[in-house]
Structure 1
Amino acid sequence: MSILITGTSGFVGKRVIEQMRIHYRSEDIITFSSSSIDGIKNIDSKNYEIDSDYLVNSGCEEVETLVHIGAFTPKSGSETNDINKSSSNIENTKRLLEALSQIKSLKRVVYLSTLDVYEPTDEIISEKTPVGPQTMYGWSKLYCEEMVKTFANQNNLLFCILRLGHVYGEGEEKYRKVMPVMIKSALKNEGISIYGDGEALRSFIYIEDVAKAVVNSLMLPSSDVINIVGNEATSINDLAEKIIALSGNDIKIEHIPSNGANRNYIFDNSKLLSTLLDSLTPLETGLKREMEYLKKLS
């Protein structure tokens, strides 16, 4: 099997490559990226400024599977409605699919999407939850999902849409996400700031589990849509307390008043555990690994 993977220089992509190399020969993997990885063939992504013959002319004529990870992902809440960056997800995926249409050996497309495609709800979120994005980023990912489905159906291919939830772990420090921000503050023996009362619930999933799920999706016998999410609901307050305890420092938590309403994110991940993974990394285990990683960087 020859596998083409985009977005391999990013947070998720790097870990997917690590897992791919465990299960597949390096010569069976091709990356589509602006930077190369030792021992693996790379095709310059050219920021997706490619024509329909680019992949075939670059030696991808025998590719059987595409894993499309590369995309604009907001690094902070202020970027979620960036029109130009969100639109690039659609345009880049369109160009990639046009180039893929020239590859006659192609059998499967795996697309990494996001839970931001779902409408707001106080109910437990599953694959049956209605879609209804609230941001331009969410709409861009949903549109790309539909492009992938249509492309696959028109070309008699299998597709798998993987909707990623709140992913954490080593490598996420580039994002203004709650976990690395808290861990960095704890390691510096600084106070931890929480907006609102901190009672909002989140369910996190460790990056290694995500990477394993992506690799395992290549073996699914039929097309599917699966949420890649945790099921260990934790309040932001409890998360902060866990991080403080692991740091060993005596740190105070400051609650900053917020006008935003609490929204819980609780998931039913039974489909994930019945198709792609047998179990998930416990939150405390993943926190310890990320904290040790950030200690080495500091």
Structure 2
Amino acid sequence: MSDQNNVLVTGGCGFLGRHVVSRLAAQGCHVTILDDLSAGTPLDTADASIKFVNGDIADPGTILAVLGERPFDHVIHLAAIHFIPRCEADPGAAFMANVVGTRNLVEALVPSSSLKSLVFASSVAVYAPSVEVLSEDADTVPMDIYGWSKLVCEDLVRSASVRGGWRAVCCRLSNLIGPGETNPHLFPEIGRQIARGEALIEVGNTTPRRNYLHVMDAADLFVRCLGLSGSDVHTINFGSGEEYSVADILSLFQKAAQRPIKFVETAARKRKVDRPRLQPNTTVMRGLIGEPQRSAEDAIKAVLMEFALETQTKWSITG
């Protein structure tokens, strides 16, 4: 990638955004981060090629001010409320951040003469629950507010892309895993409790099966999307290709921790609506932008080490 590429990353201080920004900077890009720090912290960097703007994409004035500072070649749009319990608890906030924010951004980009592509973080949550293995042309009937917001955003991105003449890539993400998570999902919550030495850990439903993607692999794949050619609209499932039940993941955590841990299902931790399975077909991803390189086991070791350091726990991770 040319060192003349100017890239805007919304949500660049979040779980995925931090890794995306570091990769872009390493490739010589000039990166502008737009983030309201509602789920993240500023990057600790003295790199002059990275600029941070504290702002909310739901505010049209903020978007216009950022876009007015320099012409952008690419935009990677990650900013969203994606923790499903938070979306369900405050659907208005989820709508503002996810839908209104995306509309503000893409409409402001339509007249851009410099923009080559926008890469958007969507989700496999857009698919209908009746579909077993999810290809990109499968039925889209989300089960929750988060999934619906992402499906609406995909339409907003595609429409603006056609009118603006720039490429759009809608990346339907599987569950991201790895160190640095900014929301209390399964992996960080289990890792934190193990690092504290807890022997009994409450969990929700252990039967749902999911596809997990290491956050560092996701960052690599997002950056590679900028290298796609043409002005087409792409929709691509992002995943590892491996499927695990929650019970499988808990077993891997226990194996890595090297000590007995009892996991107990409790009603309070179970979601009211939970898909039994979310397994994306990743053939398009592998053909266009490449293969993931890291496993769920890699992510578990990294998460445990992260919280071991945080709590100053002195123990080793099995290999």
TM-score, normalised by the number of residues in structure 1: 0.88
Match for residue 140 of structure 1?
Answer: 149
1:286 equivalenced with 2:299 (yes/no): yes
Distance 2:50 2:183 in 1: 28
Aligned length: 291
Structure 1 residue 104, shift from structure 2 partner = 1.6
Tell me which residue corresponds to 1:217: 225
Q: Which of 260, 263, 269 matches 2:276?
A: 263
Equivalence for 1:4? 8
Q: Is residue 86 from structure 1 mapped to residue 94 from structure 2 by the alignment?
A: yes
* Residues 43-74 of structure 1, C-alpha deviations (whole Å, 9 max, x = no match): 6353132337424532x23x111111111222
Q: Which residue of 1 aligns with 2:208?
A: 200
Provide the rounded CA distance (Å) in 1 between the counterparts of 2:107 and 2:275: 42
Alpha-carbon separation, structure 2, partners of 1:272 and 1:57: 33
Which residue of the partner structure matches residue 296 of structure 1?
309
Cα distance in 1 between the residues matched to 2:187 and 2:180: 12
Q: Is residue 8 of structure 2 the alignment partner of residue 14 of structure 1? A: no
What per-residue deviation string (whole Å, max 9, x for no partner) do you get for residues 167-222 of structure 1?
010111x32211222222323232133334x2332221100000000000001124
Q: Is the 8 A contact 1:125 1:267 kept in 2?
A: yes
- What amino acid is the match of 1:135? D
CA contact (8 A) 1:15 1:211 kept: yes
Is 2:245 aligned against 1:239?
no
Q: What is the distance in 2 between the residues matched to 1:77 and 1:3?
A: 31
Quote how far apart the aligned CAs of 1:18 are: 1.6
Report the CA distance between 1:130 and its aligned residue: 0.9
Question: In the alignment, what sits opposite 2:166?
Answer: 157
8 A Cα contact 1:113 1:142, kept in partner: yes
Distance 1:248 1:220 in 2: 44
How many Å apart are 1:147 and its aligned residue?
0.8
Query: Does structure 2 retain, via aligned residues, the 8 Å contact 1:186–1:249?
Result: no
**Where does 1:49-64 land on structure 2 (aligned, <5 Å)?**
49-51=59-61, 53-58=64-69, 60-61=70-71, 63-64=72-73
The answer for unaligned runs of 5 or more in structure 1 is: none
Distance (whole Å) between structure 2 residues aligned to residue 234 and residue 271 of structure 1: 21
Tell me the secondary structure at the aligned position of residue 16 of structure 2. Answer: helix
Partner-residue secondary structure (3-state), 1:72: coil
The alpha-carbon distance between structure 1 residues 72 and 252, as it changes in their structure 2 partners (threshold 3 A), is: closer
Indicate the residue corresponding to 1:186 in structure 2: 194
- Residue 100 of structure 1 and its aligned partner are, at CA, apart by 2.0
- Cα distance in 2 for partners of 1:72, 1:216 equals 24
Distance in 1 between residues matched to 2:133 and 2:146, nearest whole Å: 22
Deviation at 1:262, TM superposition (A): 6.4
Decide which of 153, 176, 192 is 2:184's aligned counterpart: 176
Contact residue 5 and residue 31 of structure 1 kept, 8 A: yes
Deviates more, 1:155-164 or 1:276-285: 276-285
1:263 & 1:56 partners in 2: Cα distance?
42
- Once the two structures are superposed, what CA deviation does each residue of 1:133-161 show, in whole Å capped at 9, x if it has no partner? 22222222111111110011012111100
Q: Deviations over 1:223-262 (max 9, x none)?
A: 3111111221122222111101111111123233668676
TM-superposed CA distance for 1:295, in Å, is: 1.0
Q: Tell me, which stretches of 5 or more residues in structure 2 are unaligned?
A: 37-41, 312-319
Q: Secondary structure at the match of 1:10?
A: coil
How far did 1:273 drift?
Answer: 1.6
Residue identity matched to 2:87: E
Contact 2:107 2:160 in 1 (8 A): no
Asked if structure 2 preserves the Cα contact closer than 8 Å seen for 1:81 and 1:136, the reply is no
1:32 aligns with 2:34: yes
Deviation at 1:131, TM superposition (A): 0.6
Is 2:9–2:34's contact at 8 Å kept on the other side of the alignment? yes
Q: Structure 2 CA distance, aligned partners of 1:56 and 1:266?
A: 37
Quote the Cα distance in structure 2 between the aligned partners of 1:38 and 1:203. 36
Evaluate the alpha carbon distance shift between residue 8 and residue 256 of structure 1 in structure 2; reply closer, same or farther with a 3 A threshold.
Answer: same
- Quote the offset at 1:22 in angstroms: 2.6
Give, as a single letter, the amino acid of the residue that structure 1 aligns with 2:108.
A
Retained in 2: the 8 A contact 1:209–1:280?
yes
CA distance 1:223–1:254, change in 2 (3 Å): same
1:266 aligned counterpart, secondary structure: strand
